[in-house]
Amino acid sequence: MLEWLRAHPFVTWIIIFVLITYVYNKVFKTRKLPILKDAIIYLMLALGSGMLLFFQLAGLPIVLSLTIAVVLMLMVRIRYYVQDRENRKS
């Protein structure tokens, strides 16, 4: 998989950007920001994705690490959903 990601750097950059954006929106975004500030944040996320792409191409498992982080976040959301549903029943 690392070979394929290394062979397709633009696709890898998009994957990294999408994963980082998901983490930002679910963890760090607490309120709605004005459009200009939001644009600046997403621009900085894009630049950070470029830096992480460099590390990915150097051999570090950045995409795998971000994927694991997103999966863990989804597991926590599922757990909260199930727990909330149990509390509503009782």
Tens of pLDDT along 33-56?
899 999 999 999 999 999 999 999
The model carries a pTM of 0.86
Q: Which among 46, 65, 49, 48 is positioned nearest to 2, based on CA atoms?
A: 65
Q: Which among 41, 49, 51, 40 is positioned nearest to 19, based on CA atoms?
A: 49
Reduce the DSSP state of residue 32 to 3 states and report it.
coil
Q: Which among 28, 32, 2, 27 is positioned nearest to 15, based on CA atoms?
A: 2
User: Is residue 31 a contact partner of residue 24, using CB atoms and an 8 Å limit?
Assistant: no
The string of pLDDT tens digits covering residues 11-41 is 999 999 999 999 999 888 888 989 999 999 9
What value does the CA radius of gyration of the chain take, rounded to a whole number of Å? 16
